[in-house]
């Protein structure tokens, strides 16, 4: 092998190696672009997740506010129902008290009527007893028969 052959061989090797190194450089450049694109996507996804988290926090706040409003409305309605029930219960109690008073008045009236009837019966019994004594005293004309 001559010097020229060696030179030519060196040039061919140099060209082949340069070509191979260029391919390797392109592959590294492609990989670097891919990594940069993946980093950009990762940052975009991170930003989206943060936006979603902020939105969910706002929604949670709205739900808490709505829950508080519903609880307040429920308490208010419950208080109204309790007041209404208490009012109706008070009416029932008043009605029972009025009936008890009427019953007591009727009982007092009945006692008074019974006392009057008892006086009359006692008076009639006394009158009858007097009449009987009187008829028994005059046996000759009048007789009381007891069958």
The band of 145, judged by pLDDT with boundaries at 50, 70 and 90, is: low
Check residue 138 and report its DSSP letter.
T
Contact partners, residue 142, CB within 8 Å, separation at least 6: 135
On whether residue 96 sits in a domain, the answer given is: yes
The band of 146, judged by pLDDT with boundaries at 50, 70 and 90, is: low
pLDDT of 147 higher than 90: no
On whether residue 53 sits in a domain, the answer given is: yes
Render pLDDT for 122-137 as a digit per residue (tens, 0 to 9): 999 888 888 877 766 6
129 near 144, Cβ under 8 Å?
A: no
On whether residue 6 sits in a domain, the answer given is: yes
On whether residue 84 sits in a domain, the answer given is: yes
On whether residue 141 sits in a domain, the answer given is: no
On whether residue 145 sits in a domain, the answer given is: no
Q: Containing domain of residue 86, as a range?
A: 1-113
When divided into structural domains, the chain yields a total of 1
Q: Determine the Cα–Cα distance for residues 107 and 109; give it in Å rounded to an integer.
A: 5
């Amino acid at each position: 092998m001559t010097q020229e052959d060696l030179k030519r061989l060196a040039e061919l090797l140099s060209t082949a190696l340069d070509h191979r190194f260029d391919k390797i450089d392109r592959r590294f450049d492609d990989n670097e672009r891919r990594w940069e694109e993946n980093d950009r996507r990762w940052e975009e996804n991170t930003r989206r997740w943060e936006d979603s988290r902020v939105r969910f926090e706002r929604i949670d706040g709205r739900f808490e506010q709505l829950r508080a409003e519903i609880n307040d409305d429920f308490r208010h309605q419950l208080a109204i129902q309790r007041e209404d029930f208490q009012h109706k219960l008070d009416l029932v109690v008043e009605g029972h008290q009025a009936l008890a008073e009427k019953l007591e008045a009727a009982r007092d009236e009945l006692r008074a009527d019974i006392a009057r009837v008892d006086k009359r019966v006692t008076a009639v019994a006394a009158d009858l007893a007097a009449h009987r004594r009187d008829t028994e005293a005059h046996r000759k004309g009048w007789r009381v028969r007891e069958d």
